[in-house]
Chains A and B, each alone.
Chain A
Amino acid sequence: MKHTLTLGLLVAVAFAAAPVAPQAEKSQVAKMTLKVGDTAPDFTLLSDQWKTVKLSDYRGKKNVFLAVYVLAFTGG
């Protein structure tokens, strides 16, 4: 992508225990609590370079594209 715009952030979350059992009951299927127009809560996460990345570091500088991946198959 060519724009100056967007810092892509990928949150890779892979959990070992998948609820695949046929008798699995969905206890909570609520929608994401955030919606368009809300202020994004700040967060601090560890990058692949072992540096902390804060959402607020990009305030006033860059747009952020946050892609949350479950079972990202990064080999981890």
Chain B
Amino acid sequence: MDSPAANAAFAKQIGLTFPLLSDMNRKMLKTYGILKGYNVQDETYEWALRANIIIDKQGIIQFVEEGDSAVDPNTALTMCTTLHKKESAK
């Protein structure tokens, strides 16, 4: 689990300007269904999926991408631009 301190060092190192969040108790991951359980030799291990989610100003999910396809952020970035244009046109 990446702690806030590790995230802060990483953000500083690469000059990030947006928050890096730690889900220390995995609550958000469970709520969003991103945390999955796997059985390995009768033990259950929990593992999170890679995911990109876009939520609009009204709190409605506009885009969901998970698994391998979410490794490349370009589709999500295109969706961000589309959402922004849609809102600007209003």
Instruction: Report A's interface with B, CB cutoff 8 A.
Output: 1, 3-15, 17-19, 21, 23-41, 43, 45-50, 53, 55-56, 58-70, 72, 74-76
The verdict on A43 contacting B28 (CB below 8 Å), with A24-B38, A63-B57, A72-B2 known, is yes
Q: Is the CB of A49 within 8 A of B5?
A: no
The verdict on A67 contacting B52 (CB below 8 Å), with A14-B1, A33-B32, A49-B4 known, is yes
CA–CA, A5 to B85, complex, Å?
10
Q: Is the CB of A63 within 8 A of B37?
A: no
Chain A-chain B contacts (Cβ-Cβ < 8 Å), number: 216
The verdict on A40 contacting B61 (CB below 8 Å), with A15-B46, A25-B39, A46-B22 known, is yes
Instruction: Report B's interface with A, CB cutoff 8 A.
Output: 1-11, 16, 18-24, 26-29, 31-34, 36-41, 44-64, 66, 70, 73, 76-77, 80-81, 83-84, 87
Would you call the interface of chain B mostly helix, strand, loop, or mixed?
A: mixed
Q: Is the CB of A59 within 8 A of B59?
A: yes
CA–CA, A32 to B47, complex, Å?
13
Q: Is the CB of B45 within 8 A of A13?
A: no
Q: Is the CB of A68 within 8 A of B4?
A: no
Q: Is the CB of B9 within 8 A of A32?
A: no
Q: List 15 A-B contacts (CB under 8 A).
A: A4-B84, A5-B87, A19-B47, A21-B40, A36-B61, A39-B60, A45-B28, A46-B21, A47-B4, A47-B19, A62-B57, A66-B51, A66-B53, A67-B52, A70-B47
